[in-house]
Amino acid sequence: MKKLKQAALVLILLLPISLVSLAQTQTIFDGTKKINGAEIYCKVIGSGEPILVVHGGPGLAHDYLYEPFTELSKNFKLIFYDQRGCGRSSSFEKDETVTMETLVEDLESIRKEFNLADVYLAGQSWGATIALNYILKYPQNIKKLLLLEPAPGSSEFMPEIQKTILSRLSEQEKEKLTKLSQMPDIKTNPETFKKFMEIRTNPYFFDSSFTKKRDFNYFDSSRVQNFFASSVMFSPYMMNYNLYPRLKEINCPTLIIHGDYDIIPTEAVERMKKEIKNCELNVILDCGHFVHLEKPEVYFRLIKEFIAK
């Protein structure tokens, strides 16, 4: 149980942030659809070739990617969704067991629902793990794969990630985190949760000024509960998985973007590049786990250039 709790903390690989003012975008769909037995929230914007965007977590939602990614809606159709049990999608049913296979089938059902073929698949952090599992099962549907600040390809890196996170926190911050994590309302009170996240996510940035601009305001009580439920649900998977041996099966062009200050070791993404046949790795200097926020011009230029090739 202690290991599962530690894993749940490690799995906070994303955070909802609002730093960019929204440009005028064309909204094609904004609502829920019955997907694979669950109510899944989807939002489709822009026009052009489709990019299916998979957010991170587990337990978060698409919101933190939406505003920065509107930059791509000028040239592409973007399909965002909240994974089951996350954001505006339906919560887990009592005693429901959701596996990685479930998430893969949800993604496939969304692709079919929106009639997407030859799609660009973009997964950020935990979303990249889902994307990898998806393409290993449905390679014929993906034109190009974008692994954006991806989680490692194996659970072997989790202890190192936890060590890195702790090394970037002061003793005072660690003490505050411990107290907040032990508060009885941490899983139900958005204010307590926000205070916890504000400290917990500091190590994810190279530039500390970004940590003062984060917006956790859309974490209401139901989203907080969903966050913890998802973290617990997928902790067993994240403590015991290894995708590296199968990455050689991926044949489509693949892009990896990684910050040199990411909590994810560079070794983890270098191994991905080595195993995937047609893979381009870009390590961006002076960036943490959110290159799309710390260096958006470089980030979206790389994505556009990769798709254009």
What is the spatial distance between Cα 153 and Cα 162, in angstroms, rounded to a whole number?
16
Structural fold of domain 2-308: Rossmann fold (3.40.50)
In the prediction, which pLDDT does 213 show? 59
Average pLDDT of the chain is: 89
Q: Could you give the 3-state DSSP secondary structure of residue 279?
A: strand
What is the spatial distance between Cα 29 and Cα 219, in angstroms, rounded to a whole number?
23
- Cα within 13 Å of Cα(100), Cβ side: 21
In the prediction, which pLDDT does 47 show? 93
The pLDDT tens digits for 203-246 are 999 987 776 656 555 566 667 778 888 888 888 999 999 999 99
pLDDT of residue 188 exceeding 50, the answer is yes
Both tokens assigned to 50: 């489709």
75 phi, psi to nearest 5 deg? -125, -10
pLDDT category at 9 given cuts 50, 70, 90 is very low
> Beta partners for 259?
284
Mean pLDDT (whole number) for 185-192: 85
The pLDDT tens digits for 90-148 are 888 776 778 999 999 999 999 999 999 999 999 999 999 999 999 999 999 999 999 99
Mean pLDDT (whole number) for 25-37: 91
Angle 190-200/171-181 helices, nearest 10 degrees? 150
pLDDT of residue 19 exceeding 50, the answer is no
The pLDDT tens digits for 42-67 are 999 999 999 999 999 898 889 889 99
In the prediction, which pLDDT does 208 show? 73
In the prediction, which pLDDT does 22 show? 45
